[in-house]
Structure 1
Amino acid sequence: MKIGSAYEIAGRPIGPDHPPYIIAEVSANHLGNLDRALELVDIAAACGCDAVKIQTYRADTITIDHDGPDFTLTEGLWRGRRLYELYQEAHTPWEWHEALFKRARENGVTIFSSPFDATAVELLERLETPAYKIASFEIVDIPLIELCASTKKPLIISTGMANLGEIEEAVNAAIRAGAAGVALLHCTSGYPTPFKDADLRTIPSLADAFGVPVGLSDHTDGLSSPVVAIALGASIIEKHITRLRSDGGPDAAFSLEPTEFTEMAKACNNAWSALGRVRYSRAISEDANAKIRRSLYVVADIKKGDRISNENVRSIRPGFGLPPKHLPTIIGKTVRHDLKRGTALAWSDIEN
Structure 2
Amino acid sequence: MKPTTGQAEEEGVIIIAEAGVNHNGSIAMALSLVEKAKQAGADFIKFQAYIPGEMVVQGESQYRMLESLALGEKEFLLIREKCAEEKIPFLASVFDEKSLALMEKLNAPAIKIPSGEITNLPLIKKAAATGRPLILSTGMSTLGEVEAAVLAAEEAGNKKIALLHCVSEYPAPLEKTNLRTIKTLQAAFRYPVGFSDHTEGYDAALLAVALGARIIEKHFTLAKNLPGPDHKLSLTPGEFREFIEKIRSAGEALGTGRKTVTAGEKAVRAAAGKSLVARVDIAKGSVLSPDLLALKRPGTGIPPQYLPLVAKARAARFLPKDSLLQWSDFILEGKGENEAGNETENNRLN
1:14 aligns with one of 6, 20, 25: 6
TM-superposed deviation, 1:195: 0.8
Matched, 1:197 2:176: yes
8 Å CA contact 1:153–1:180 kept in 2: the answer is no
Q: Structure 1, residues 29-49: CA drift from partner, whole Å, max 9, x if none?
A: 112322221111111112222
TM-superposed deviation, 1:246: 2.8
DSSP-derived class of the 1:247 partner? coil
Q: Structure 1, residues 252-284: CA drift from partner, whole Å, max 9, x if none?
A: 122112232223323333333333334343222
1:150 aligns with one of 129, 132, 146: 129
1:60 aligns with one of 48, 53, 58: 53
Matched, 1:319 2:296: no
Q: Which residue of 2 aligns with 1:28?
A: 21
DSSP-derived class of the 1:221 partner? coil
- Structure 1 residues 321 and 155, CA gap change in structure 2 (3 angstroms): closer
DSSP-derived class of the 1:184 partner? strand
Specify the code of the residue in structure 2 equivalent to 1:55. Answer: Q
TM-superposed deviation, 1:91: 2.8
DSSP-derived class of the 1:246 partner? coil
TM-superposed deviation, 1:136: 0.2
1:181 aligns with one of 156, 160, 168: 160
Specify the code of the residue in structure 1 equivalent to 2:246. Answer: A
Unmatched tracts of structure 1, length 5 or more:
1-6, 72-81, 306-312
- Structure 1 residues 196 and 326, CA gap change in structure 2 (3 angstroms): same
TM-superposed deviation, 1:134: 0.5
Specify the code of the residue in structure 2 equivalent to 1:134. Answer: I
- Structure 1 residues 279 and 27, CA gap change in structure 2 (3 angstroms): closer
CA distance in 1, matches of 2:190, 2:319: 67
Q: Which residue of 2 aligns with 1:211?
A: 190
- Structure 1 residues 188 and 16, CA gap change in structure 2 (3 angstroms): farther
Q: Which residue of 2 aligns with 1:102?
A: 81
1:39 aligns with one of 32, 51, 55: 32
Specify the code of the residue in structure 2 equivalent to 1:23. Answer: I
The two structures, once aligned, show a CA RMSD in angstroms of 3.6
CA distance in 2, matches of 1:338, 1:149: 75
Moved more, 15-24 or 45-54: 15-24
8 Å CA contact 2:195–2:208 kept in 1: the answer is yes
CA distance in 1, matches of 2:149, 2:305: 60
Specify the code of the residue in structure 2 equivalent to 1:41. Answer: V
DSSP-derived class of the 1:238 partner? strand
- Structure 1 residues 135 and 296, CA gap change in structure 2 (3 angstroms): closer
Matched, 1:237 2:216: yes
CA distance in 1, matches of 2:222, 2:259: 45
**Mapping of residues 297-312 of structure 1, within 5 Å:** none
Q: Structure 1, residues 77-122: CA drift from partner, whole Å, max 9, x if none?
A: xxxxx31233134333443100111111222222121111122122
DSSP-derived class of the 1:55 partner? strand
Q: Structure 1, residues 170-198: CA drift from partner, whole Å, max 9, x if none?
A: 11111222335211111100000001111
CA distance in 2, matches of 1:152, 1:140: 20
Q: Which residue of 1 aligns with 2:272?
A: 293
8 Å CA contact 2:276–2:307 kept in 1: the answer is no
1:140 aligns with one of 119, 123, 129: 119
Specify the code of the residue in structure 2 equivalent to 1:141. Answer: N
Specify the code of the residue in structure 1 equivalent to 2:45. Answer: V
Matched, 1:224 2:174: no
- Structure 1 residues 315 and 99, CA gap change in structure 2 (3 angstroms): same
DSSP-derived class of the 2:124 partner? helix
How many pairs are equivalent? 327
- Structure 1 residues 15 and 172, CA gap change in structure 2 (3 angstroms): farther
CA distance in 2, matches of 1:237, 1:103: 23
TM-superposed deviation, 1:348: 7.6
CA distance in 2, matches of 1:117, 1:123: 10
- Structure 1 residues 351 and 39, CA gap change in structure 2 (3 angstroms): same
CA distance in 2, matches of 1:344, 1:233: 45
TM-superposed deviation, 1:326: 9.0
CA distance in 2, matches of 1:119, 1:248: 28
